[in-house]
Structures are given as C-alpha cells and as structure tokens.
Structure 1
Amino acid sequence: MKKISSIFLIIILSLGLLTGCSSNKTNDTKVKEENKTVKVTVPDGLPAMSVAKLIKENPEISKDYEVKYSIEKTPETLSTSVMKEEPDIAIVPSNMASIAYNKTKNYQIAATTGFGSFYIISTEDLKSYNDLKGKTILNMGKGLTPDITAQSILKDRGINITSDVTFNYVNGVPELVPMVVSGKEKIAVVPEPALTALMEKKKDVKIFKSLNDEYKTLNNSEYGYPQATLIVKKSFLAENKEFVNSFLSNVEKSVIWANKNKKDLAAYCENIGVSTEKGIIENSLDRANIKYAFVKNTIEEYKKYYKKLFDFNPKSVGGTMPDEGIFMEK
C-alpha cells in the first residue's frame, strides 16, 4: 500500500512539473507574440557596415520589441521595399529619402550614417582641375546622384561640363572597376570600398580629389554631402518614439564602434553577408566616411544638397523640393 501511495505521489509531482513547464512555455510564447516586430532594412555596402554591430549582435533595444534586419543587395529591391512602405526603419541614399517622402509622406529623415565616399581617381598625374580638360571621365549612373554631385563640383571648380570634359557611364561598380584595371579608362569617379579594391588591383591608381572634401570647401559645409540617410516611418514613430530614440542611440554607438574596430567589423560583415571582402573592408574605412549625425545637426546640409540635386534634375529628389516635414523631430 505504501508502495502504491509512493507511485501516486511521484505521478502527481511529475504531472505538476509538466504542467508547470507547459505553463511557462505558454507564457513565453505569449510574451513573444506580444513583442512588436520592427523591420529594419539597409543596403549592402557601407550602410550595412555602419550598423554591422547591431545586425550581428541584435541587442535588445527596448523591452517588448523584436528587431528584424535585412540587407538588400540591389538599389532596385531597396527602392521597391521602401516605396511599398515595408520597413519601419531604413538606411537609403539621401536622394531616395526625398523621393520616399514626396511619394509616401510617411518617411522622415532621422539621421545620417555616412557622408560622401566618392573620389576622382586617375592613372595619370593630375595636378589641377585644368588637367581634366579634354579628358574622358568614367562614372556610374547617368543623371543619378554620383553623376550630379561630380558634375556640380567640377562646374564649381571652373570646368565646363559640356565642352571641357566627356563623361562615359556604366551601370555600377562591377562594370567600372574592370574598365580602369584594363586601362580602357584612365580617370573615374569611384566610391569606397570599391576604390580600395581597385587600388589593390591596379597599383598606379592615384586619388586626385575627394568629392566630399571638395564639397565641404565649396559649400562651407561641416560634414560634406549626406550619402547614407536613416529614415523612419512616420506612422511607426508616432506610436514608438522611445524605441526610435533608443534605436538611434544604438546606431550611433555602432558607427563609432565600426571606426574603432576595423578587424572585428570586417569579421562581422562577413558573418552577416556583406558582399565586400574582409580585407577590403578593413583597409577602406579611413576613406569610407562612415559617420553618424542626428538630423537636427544636418538640416541645412540636406536643404543645400537637395537644392543642388533639384536644380540639376528635379526627378532626382522626387520632382519637388521636400518641405520641412521631411525632418524628424526628436
């Protein structure tokens, strides 16, 4: 009888333990279901590098929020996702931020994670802008921001962009680099980290000018022109302001960390699927211009840059100059 009682006691205790486990599991599932999912989208390359720490470590930004990161491999997929208003937060080219605002009225600029990383390079010895006269300059994307920015700076430096120089265009870096390496083109506008890769493949490549440094000088600009812009969905911000502010603080920390920990950054980037090779990432950071600036410190920079883009081609900013509503208030 004593033995039977003992067996019953064990069964009851076991059932209690199982019930307890089941209850905890149910509670855990319930909490997980109640967590708000935040979709963050970034393009491959420098923008992904700037937040690699966040993507790899995925720390808890704020209680009851689950952040899901995605890296878009092409400008087309990034643009499509943003125009469909899929991400709550995204890093996009600065002009895309304006286009998204003009089209959806639902994205605002919160910060910048990278300023100009384009350089005029040459395999010839260029001493001054006058040495560009009569030359062909290779660039990417006719009428897009790299083209507009380069032409604007050349014009401000006294180069007639229609008669002094000839522009030759390719669709992107994968086409541009081989043309310089092969010697088909001697002068080009190249961004980091592609520039570092190019200079490793062709040792006689020399940097003539940093477009960002030139822009700063010509426009009395502290930062240069914004290249990578962090935008937040306005409807998301309205209900989740504390989370957004915490997220921005973490982005700033990630940018600072990236510049101080080159080797670790390269390893993180490889782990999260950034397409640039580890060695290239590590060696390109000094010229990559990954920097964080909250929007309140760069409003005038954006206005000035958007005006330049608009004057050159209104379509580059979405047809009209964005109004003050594009800038997020903290």
Structure 2
Amino acid sequence: MKKLYVVLMSILLVGCNTSEKEVVTVVALKGPTAMGMVNFMDRVAKDEQFDNKYEFSIVTSPDEATAMLVKGEADIAALPANLGATLYNNGGEIKATAINTLGVLYILENGNTINDIQDLKGKTIISAGKGATPEMSLRYILAENGIDPDKDITIEWKSEQAEVLAYLVANEGTIAMMPEPFVTTALQEDANITRSLDLTREWDKLQTDNSEKSALVTGILVARDDFIEDNSQALNEFLVNYEESVNFVNADTAASAQLVSDYNIVPFETAIDAIPNCNITFIEGNALENNLSGYLEVLFNQNPNSIGGVLPDEAFYYR
C-alpha cells in the first residue's frame, strides 16, 4: 500500500512541484543495523533522483543516535529495539516504523560438542553485556526449553566482546555467546571454533504453537512524530527505498560487503561472511507490531526497566 502511495505521489508531483525537496536526515549505528542501508546510501551518493533529499550518518554509540533524534538532528533512526521502546516510554515522540534486524546472537564453541540447546546443561557460557538484552534473550530461550539459567548453566561475564573473543580463541572447549560480526571474526581467526547454535532459530522454534508469534529483534527503525505528521510522503518513500536496499543486501553479498567496507562499517573480509548471518530484514505493519511487541514483553517480564518500565501502547507502532 505504501509503495502504491509513493508511486502515485511521484506521478502527481512530476512537472508541478517547484518547491525545494524535503531534506530527510537518517542516523544508524555502526554494525548490522546500518548494513541494510548501504545500497540506499550508495544510490543517494551517486545522485540518483528521489522526491526527497537524504542525509545519512553512521555513529558508534546508541546514545549519540538517540541524542540526534531527540534534538531534531535526525528524522529517522535505526536503534536497538529496547532503546526505541525506552525512548518512547520516556516521552520521546516517536514511532517504530519497521524491524530492520532480527537476532544476531550465536552460541560458539572452541570445539564441537554443542549440537542442541539441551547440550548447554551443565556448561559454562562466557559472554559480555550482563543485564542487557542478550542475557535476557538467552535466559528466555533456556527457560522455555526447560533449562534453569540460574542452576543448570553458569554464565561467566566479560567486560566487552573483544575480551570474549580473545578468551574463546585462546581456550579450547570454551563456549561463548556472541553477536555478529564478532562471530565471523572468531570463525576466521580459529578454524577449531564452530557456530553451534543460532539463537534466532532457537527463538523461532518456541513460537510454533503460539497464536501471536514474536521474534528475536535486534534493531528497529523509528521516526519522530512531527516528521511523520508533516512529511508522511517522505517517510513512505524512505521506507520503500529502504526495503529495496535490504533486498539488495541480502541478494548480492559480495557487492553489499564492498559497500559495507566502503562506509567503514566493518572490513570487506568480515562483511562478506557476516552479512548472510546478520538477519537483515524489513518488517512493517501488523507483523512489525506482533513480532516486536512479543519481544518487548519477554524483556519486560525479566526487567521492566530494560524497555522503560511499561510495554509500549499501540501508538508506538506506525501503520
């Protein structure tokens, strides 16, 4: 429906729109949440003609992206899913417009003994990000599979992903939970390391009998309410072209890896192996609300503060 709207608007505006194009400012985080944008960014850089002008920024800190959104320096932002919900619940006048990245978490092993989620019983898992969404996602998956995360396994916390990576490579038999693209880096550094479990797939297995299925979500696109109200055509054109960019990135890994490298997100050698495992996606409408709300409910049940204290109401979801 949005695609048809954009096409019709483009036809109506041809030859009769003498006003300046709307400038749409977009910010994304360096990593998988920005990878899906690279084809769109490249088309803009090559002066492909759109109804609007687009200015992209890639930042390293979620706080920096949030600050740009709050100050009105960005109209659209790619944020961690729980951060978008937290911002909304704290008075941020924004809406979630699409899911752009599903889960990027994997269980790795320096060895080859973990083939099933049940194989984690009695084991020690090293990870970074204690108290953050990766821990909550892991605890949910374990508990739903009948594994008590406080009794049946041990989680050993490291300060950052680089420390997890170094420990995993140096110690045979180590089991680790890591996100892409660190997973790809680990696999490239040591041939003995295996990608044992895809936690996105494990999450999906748990949804089989659920009438309202959720998903393991990493990143979402949000837009400011005032931008949506004043420039709905610009937002809809952005979403159409963003979806095309996602499709390109998933269809042509080599070309996309080069663009990811060109925009200094991760090196080409990492990107070409990581992109197929980053679960870059585009989900909007009812599926956006169903998948995202279910994920946020899991986080809320473990720690309400992780999403700003309450579950976002329906006004959070763009339709």
Same fold (TM over 0.5): yes
Alpha-carbon distance, 1:223 to partner:
7.4
Compared CA separation, residues 264 and 129, structure 1 to 2 (3 A): closer
1:67 aligns with 2:58: no
TM-score by length of 2: 0.86
In the alignment, which residue of structure 1 is the partner of 2:100? 113
Larger mean Cα displacement after TM superposition, 206-215 or 176-185: 176-185
Map 1:1-330 to 2 at 5 A: 34-58=20-44, 62-63=50-51, 65-124=52-111, 125-183=113-171, 186-220=174-208, 224-274=215-265, 276-329=266-319
2: CA distance, partners of 1:185 / 1:98: 38
Alpha-carbon distance, 1:321 to partner:
0.9
1: CA distance, partners of 2:148 / 2:245: 41
Q: Among the aligned pairs, what percent are the same residue?
A: 26
Please identify which structure carries the higher helix content. Answer: 1
How many aligned residue pairs are there? 296
Larger radius of gyration: 1
Alpha-carbon distance, 1:209 to partner:
1.4
Compared CA separation, residues 76 and 173, structure 1 to 2 (3 A): farther
Alpha-carbon distance, 1:256 to partner:
0.4
- Residues 48-67 of structure 1: CA deviation (Å, up to 9, x unaligned): 1100011222155743x321
2: CA distance, partners of 1:273 / 1:152: 34
Provide the secondary structure at the position in 1 that maps to 2:90. Answer: helix
CA contact (8 A) 1:61 1:247 kept: no
TM-score by length of 1: 0.84
In the alignment, which residue of structure 2 is the partner of 1:11? none
Alpha-carbon distance, 1:94 to partner:
0.8
1: CA distance, partners of 2:285 / 2:28: 18
Name the Cα RMSD after superposition.
2.1
Compared CA separation, residues 52 and 261, structure 1 to 2 (3 A): same
CA contact (8 A) 1:115 1:223 kept: no
- Residues 102-135 of structure 1: CA deviation (Å, up to 9, x unaligned): 1234110111111112111112412444432332
2: CA distance, partners of 1:152 / 1:85: 36
Mind listing any 5+ residue stretches in structure 1 that lack a counterpart? 1-30
Alpha-carbon distance, 1:173 to partner:
2.5
Alpha-carbon distance, 1:197 to partner:
1.2
Alpha-carbon distance, 1:99 to partner:
0.8
CA contact (8 A) 2:214 2:292 kept: no
Compared CA separation, residues 179 and 82, structure 1 to 2 (3 A): farther
